[in-house]
Structure 1
Amino acid sequence: MAPLRIAVAGAGTAGLAAAAFLARDGHDVRLFERFAEPRPIGAGLMLQPTGLACLALLDLDERAIERGCIVSGIDGRTVRGARIFDVSYGDLAPHLFGLGIHRGVLFGLLYDEVRRLSVPIAAATEISHSRPLPGGRVLVDAADKEHGPFDLVVDGTGQRSPLRAGEVRVRVDRPYPYGALWGIVDMPDTWAHTQKLAQVYDGCHLMVGVLPVGRGPDNARPLAALFWSLRVRDHEAWQQAGLADWKARVLAAWPEAAAFVVQIRNLEQMTFASYADVVLQERHADRLVFVGDSGRVTSPQLGQGANMALIDAAMLSACLRDALSVNAALADYAERRRAHTRFYSLASRWLTPFFQSDSRLAALVRDAAFPIAGRVPYVQREMVRTLAGMKTGLFSHLDPGIWHARYALRPLSAAGGPT
């Protein structure tokens, strides 16, 4: 397809990745961001082989690995020490891994790439809606100023996208009752799980965890993300109860986390995030496409948000290269992403009550069934594929090697053939 004039709304992971991929393909891209200075929102995240493979298409994966922390798997236990999860990427392929990374580092890599590609950024411009024109679209900001016209608008504004209204039908929009508190602290030298996501559960109402994230944007020391599950309705009560009360609850559940908890000196170090389940009828309209959380929102239980955003951006650019028209490319994009996003929406919806809910029955089932299921080789392999972001259905999966050979399920040998 000939180069297009493209507007990308939102400078999060999805928007920045889309801008980078599309600019690399020769399109005339303009990025719109509501903040005066684009910045990351959030603490730490986990990049899966799928997301890393898409970063590799931008030549950014090795730089991410230099700053992040390789994660070999998940160790999940109850407060009484019973193991619920013992999931290792090595059970899938010895060369695959997850990557804990500070959100600011991922943002910086993508933002620097967008700047390197000379993509104009309209900062302090909050987009309120989009309006179709014959053969194009304009963006309208909060001051009612029009921008455009553009051949295509890419919506990367996130979970609460203002561009969906009047364009696509939202089939599901359900907030989850639980959210999480997140904070970044130094990784103690004495920590036993320096390459694992470690979690502790008490029923389904309590979950505390630590994710190693490597070095931050301005920090040479290894860091970790500390998180604590919390009901949305209890957030205000948590603030009123004070720091000492919360620290006591964390240490009662997980005494080994003391070296992390002691570093939290005020409530402002912990950021609260709420989550939702959002499903669109279609992820595109006339010359308008939704990527990342604008197109679908899940709980963080499976840790796929940033990875899905990177895949969306990579697939959108590929569809635009192959199609004869913009709308044909968008229809192809929606179809090619359908099975993957549907699986993770359903899996997230199904799994969340086992880790963030008030259900005693779900806790009993989880504690009894998950360890047994994990000892069945087939189930164990499917659990790792789910964690690694590869599942497209109950009995189907994708291979990240479709994006980059370094992350293929069967690695390339030195001679260039499959091992």
Structure 2
Amino acid sequence: MKIEGLEVAIAGAGIGGLSLATMLARRGAKVVVYDQMAAPQPIGSGFVLQPTGLAILERMGLREAIAARGQVITRMHGALATGGSSMPGKTVLEISYPGNGHGIAVQRVALFDLLLSEAISAGVRFKTNARTTGIIEGSRPALALDGSRATPSADIVVDAMGASSPIGHDPAKELGYGALWATVPWPENGPFHRFELEQRYERASRMAGVLPVGTAKDGAPPMATFFWSLRNRDIDQWHRDGRAAWIEQVAALWPEAAPLAEIAEPVHARYRHHTRKPIAGRGVIRIGDAWHATSPQLGQGANMAMIDAASLLSALARAPSIDEAFALHLRHRAPHVWLYQMLSLVLTPFYQSDSRILPAMRDIAIGPTTRMPLVRQLVSRLVTGDFLSPIERIGLEDFYGA
């Protein structure tokens, strides 16, 4: 199918939407991104780009640029808290990358700015202050905007608005636990390991983590993401109790992390778990969290969104029509999406829930098991996002290079 001249409307200027917009525009598509913000801007803190996401960025010619801003991660380690002691307790999560593999932890703003710049250079147009409220169906669909407005019709409409997309929004899918996230200066010569994601747990109801995330831009100081799990229903009480009470809680769980809490300006994030129908109408398709949202426990959100974007591009280039391209795209992506949705649903309660039984099972079995060679290899492939070989499935290397 000829991509050049294809008219595409994308709702949402997030990682998935910007990736898809850039890829399509580079191949000659006429792409307009609609976003509710006054200017495109990132939402969220830091995350780990896994080998799958890095493979997409490499084919876009952006891996070196993001590596220069990010921080190499070679290990993910979670341990039980020990009642205010600085020494970690029993290991309940142990993941190392196979061979010389690694992830790259980044501030969301660093990847966002890079993708936004590339999208603009590729000719993507942006319409801001444009909050999408729905879809206008037809042989050439369009986006319905607030204020009784509508976008021009397009050949393809893409919902890349994330888990809270108003198109088919279902608030009942919200998970019980969210998290407080903050970006703080990386403590040089401090107690944390530069190449690791470190976490501390008290059962599954309380968890804190520290992730080094590199710099926002050239010349900026290195930063870390600090996160703290919190029941969504408790956020009002957290505000009433005040910062001092929270810092005391952090210190009781993980004393070394208390200085990070003292300087943090945390933002509360809520999470959903859903798998919506990826095709929302004729010529209308969802990507990323708008299609498949999960908790952040497996750390796949941004990576999966970029794979979705690359897969859709690949299918459009290979198939003779839009309908057939959508079908090919779903054949490539559905098994991988299903697997990670199922794993997130099963594993999240072991690490974030009110259960007493599940974290006890985790402490007895999961930590020790993940240190066994064969299991370690399987778990590493799962966490790095490479299980079922999603990059090979979409065949991106056959036609899209740097």
Q: TM-score range by the shorter chain?
A: over 0.9
Secondary structure at the aligned position of 1:262 is classed as: helix
Residue by residue, what CA displacement relative to the aligned partner does 1:176-229 show, whole Å, maximum 9, x if unpaired?
A: 100000001111112331110000001010100001100124862110000000
State how far apart, in whole Å, the 1-side matches of 2:218 and 2:263 are.
18
1:196 is matched with 196
State how far apart, in whole Å, the 2-side matches of 1:50 and 1:106 are.
15
The unaligned stretches of length 5 or more in structure 2 are: 83-88
State how far apart, in whole Å, the 2-side matches of 1:122 and 1:157 are.
14
State how far apart, in whole Å, the 1-side matches of 2:167 and 2:371 are.
46
State how far apart, in whole Å, the 2-side matches of 1:313 and 1:399 are.
12
State yes or no: 1:58 paired with 2:41: no
2:22 is matched with 20
Which of residues 86, 89, 93 is equivalent to 2:99? Answer: 93
Secondary structure at the aligned position of 1:389 is classed as: coil
The TM-score normalised by the length of structure 1 is 0.89
Residue by residue, what CA displacement relative to the aligned partner does 1:22-56 show, whole Å, maximum 9, x if unpaired?
A: 11121111111111111000111111000011111
State how far apart, in whole Å, the 2-side matches of 1:30 and 1:399 are.
26
Question: Shift of residue 57 of structure 1?
Answer: 1.6
Q: Contact 1:186–1:223 (CA<8 Å) still a contact in 2?
A: yes
1:414 is matched with none
State how far apart, in whole Å, the 2-side matches of 1:281 and 1:119 are.
27
Residue by residue, what CA displacement relative to the aligned partner does 1:345-397 show, whole Å, maximum 9, x if unpaired?
A: 011111110111111101110001012211321111111111101123xxxx4
Which of residues 165, 184, 200 is equivalent to 1:161? Answer: 165
Q: Contact 1:32–1:123 (CA<8 Å) still a contact in 2?
A: yes
| Cα distance change on mapping 1:83 and 1:400 into 2, 3 Å | farther
Question: Shift of residue 326 of structure 1?
Answer: 0.6
- The total of aligned residue pairs comes to 388
Which of residues 108, 116, 121 is equivalent to 1:103? Answer: 108
> Aligned residues: percent identity?
36
Residue by residue, what CA displacement relative to the aligned partner does 1:39-96 show, whole Å, maximum 9, x if unpaired?
A: 000111111000011111211111111001001110110013111122111xx231x2
The TM-score normalised by the length of structure 2 is 0.93
1:365 is matched with 361
State how far apart, in whole Å, the 2-side matches of 1:313 and 1:162 are.
20
Which aligned pairs between 1:233-252 and structure 2 lie closer than 5 A?
233-252=233-252
Secondary structure at the aligned position of 1:125 is classed as: coil
CA RMSD for the aligned pairs? 1.8
Question: Shift of residue 284 of structure 1?
Answer: 4.7
The unaligned stretches of length 5 or more in structure 1 are: 406-419
State yes or no: 1:385 paired with 2:398: no
State how far apart, in whole Å, the 1-side matches of 2:372 and 2:74 are.
20
Matched to 1:306, the amino acid is A
Question: Shift of residue 147 of structure 1?
Answer: 1.7
Richer in strand (by share): 1
State how far apart, in whole Å, the 2-side matches of 1:261 and 1:218 are.
26
| Cα distance change on mapping 1:403 and 1:260 into 2, 3 Å | farther
